[in-house]
Amino acid sequence: MKKRKLKFLLVILLGFSLNLAAAPQNLPDMGSSASRSLNKAEERELGEAIMQDVYRRLPVIYDPYIQYYIQQLGDWLVSFSPDRGEPYTFFVVGDSTINAFALPGGFIGINSGLFMHTQTESELAGVMAHEIAHVSQRHIARMFEKAEQMSLPTLAAILGSIAVAAAASPAVGGGLLAGTLAGSQQMYIDFTRHNEEEADRAGIDILAQAEYDPNGMPAFFGRMGQANRYNDDPSSIPEFLRTHPVTSKRMADAQNRANRYPKPNLRDDLGYRLIKERIRVQTSTPSQVIALYKSRLDGNPAFRYGYALALTQERSYNDALRQLDILLKASSDNVLFRMAKADVLIKKKQYDEALTIAHQTYRIYPGNEAILYDLANMYLTAERPLQTKDILNDYLKRKRANNPRLYQLLAQAYRDLDQQKPAMLAQADYYTEMGNYKSAIQQLNRARITEPVNEYQTAMIDAKVDALEYELAQQEKMRGFLGR
């Protein structure tokens, strides 16, 4: 048990970065021996336990369009990896530091700061492909084997560094960790370097097969390294470079790998550019970005879109509508333009016109959960919970939602309709999808004794509670390993 506990502690070191955002940075296909150390189900369980802390401590961006974009892009890349068909969860953290991280079990986060520093969708996809490769090549499992060669005092010191970092800053914790590992942990430095190079190679292959420019990865890494080549202040080096060190050999190898592939046709990355501006507006104050946008509107629909969003935040609704109408005149079927206009109209309380636009957009793109979330929320704002309930149930009875917050909206609709029992059941589904099994069980137990009570539904609730109690026990076991 001691050995197994130490293994789990090490995974947290590698996968749970010093500021909850630097993760298992280091991973290759190490063969079946790694699989014997930690199987994929255990990795997923560990990742789910860590994500509870991520949701509590990090400013995860829940904007439906940002969330939908990053998940769709990630799913597309995973489909060209050895993990095709495996569940992955992608999310954006509202943090200006330049970083990306992969946690056990396929949970991959991208800081808004890194997103904003990419210049093309291929660069963003390159970073994500690199993190996917860390997971798919089983590097976390391989680290477990290395953990057995680390002494208990060293592990204890590492965990102390993490605790300090959580209370102070990544730079402080990073310095303590570096001091702890210095000298006696050269094998980990070598292992990390090998994993980074392996993730580069596997990631570039994923990138090329997904029809992105394979030069996107070395271009971004190289630009970050070049910008900091004379930086002798460790605290000012981007977190991404501290966790993904760039060397000339690594860059040369990555560039050579990318050059093996033919250059693909240029992709229309308007969606990427629009989401980038959406992130900019959400992580800045309107006054900061309005002046920026005013000077860059000519011929740039992404900046005009950002300008409209910033004007909306400033409650300059008529000005925002003028900008959106210009965009819609050139691209009448663009989802983000249409839904941004609907949002402005909702804020102006022109509910019928707003809902007509939103509903028509959803009919054109019926599988888009971002539109569905927005439309359902607009119905609630317009005090039409029955429509929210109907449209969400129609979708959720056919498939499980990728966006857990759809269940939260459904619960709110039921509460507005004074239907408390189904509201509790929908809220339980939300907590379940978020991995908050304790709260889900509480909701189900409340629903069990809430009228109307029938034998069939009670049996269904009891079965769900039994399943969740098992999941909760597994999660608590993992949290025990983490010392939480």
Tens of each residue's pLDDT in the chain, 484 residues? 444 444 444 444 433 332 333 333 333 333 444 444 667 787 888 888 888 888 988 899 999 999 999 999 999 999 999 999 999 999 999 999 888 888 888 999 999 999 999 999 999 999 999 999 988 888 766 765 565 555 544 444 444 443 334 333 444 334 433 444 444 344 444 556 778 888 889 999 999 999 999 998 888 888 876 655 444 445 544 555 455 566 677 777 788 888 898 888 877 799 999 999 999 999 999 888 999 998 888 889 999 999 999 999 999 999 999 999 999 999 999 999 999 999 999 999 999 999 999 999 999 999 899 999 999 999 999 999 999 999 999 999 998 899 999 999 999 999 999 999 999 999 999 999 999 999 999 999 999 999 988 899 999 999 999 999 999 998 888 776 655 5
Measure Cα distances from 9 to 71, 131, 147, 435 in Å. 29, 21, 9, 20
As annotated, the active-site residues are 131, 200
- Tokens describing residue 34: 């790694």
By C-alpha distance, which of 309, 301, 303 is closest to 344? 309
d(CA 129, CA 148): 29
> Residue 179, SS3?
helix
- d(C-alpha 318, C-alpha 240), whole Å: 41
Nearest-angstrom CA–CA distance, 170 and 443: 37
- Phi first, then psi: give them for residue 85, nearest 5 degrees: 95, -15
Supply the range of the domain harboring residue 185. 2-259
> Where does residue 350 rank: exposed (0-12), middle (13-18), buried (19+ CB within 10 A)?
middle
* Max CA pair span of the chain: 71
Nearby residues of 54 by Cβ (< 8 Å), 6 or more positions away: 20, 60, 103, 107, 109
Please answer whether residues 434 and 405 qualify as being in contact, where contact means their C-beta atoms are separated by less than 8 angstroms: no
- pLDDT one-digit tens code per residue, 22-40: 333 333 333 444 444 667 7
pLDDT digits (tens, 9 = 90+) for 177-225: 344 444 434 444 455 677 888 888 999 999 999 999 999 888 888 887 6
Q: What secondary structure does DSSP assign to 145-157, as a single string?
A: HHHTTS-HHHHHH
Is 445 within the bounds of a domain? yes
Q: Within a domain: residue 416?
A: yes
340 within a domain of the structure (yes/no): no
Amino acid (1-letter code) at residue 59: P
φ/ψ of 89, rounded to 5, equals: -125, 125
Q: How many CB atoms lie within 10 A of CB 401?
A: 18
Sheet holding 100-103, edge to edge: 89-93, 107-111, 100-103
> Residue 104 has what pLDDT?
83
Q: Is 387 exposed, middle or buried (0-12, 13-18, 19+ CB in 10 A)?
A: middle
d(CA 418, CA 476): 34
Instruction: Determine if the peptide bond prior to 87 is cis (ω within 30°).
Output: no
Q: Per the domain annotation, does 138 fall within a domain? A: yes
> Looking at residue 48, what is its pLDDT?
87
Q: Which residue has the tokens 């292992």?
A: 191
Closest CA to 442 of 453, 427, 422: 427
Q: Examine the fold and report which residue of 259, 283, 316 is the final residue of a domain before the chain moves on.
A: 259
- Residue where the block lists tokens 């509670």: 465
Give me the residue label for tokens 């930086």: 231
Q: Is the dihedral of CA 355, 357, 363, 368 positive or negative?
A: negative
Instruction: Taking the CA atoms of 313, 314, 316 and 319 in sequence, report the sign of the dihedral they define.
Output: negative
Task: With CA atoms as reference, report the closest residue to 239 among 330, 165, 180, 148.
Answer: 165
> What is the rounded distance in angstroms from the CA atom of residue 19 to the CA atom of residue 239?
10
Task: Give helix 351-364 / helix 335-347 axis angle, nearest 10°.
Answer: 160
Q: Which of 208, 241, 259 is the last residue of a domain?
A: 259
Cα(219)–Cα(222) distance, integer angstroms:
5
Q: Which of 55, 46, 58 is nearest to 10 (CA)?
A: 46
- Give the C-alpha separation, 337 to 323, whole Å: 10
Q: Show the beta-strand stretches assigned E in 29-183.
A: 89-93, 100-103, 107-111
Q: Is residue 195 part of a domain?
A: yes
Residue 288 lies in a domain: no
Q: 244, 259, 274: which is the final residue of a domain?
A: 259
| Position 326, amino acid | I
User: Could you tell me if 108 and 248 lie in one domain?
Assistant: yes
Number of domains in the chain: 2
Q: Determine, yes or no, domain membership for 275.
A: no
Among 334, 408, 340, smallest CA distance to 365 is for: 334
Note the helical H segments in 58-111.
64-78
In a domain, 325, yes or no: no
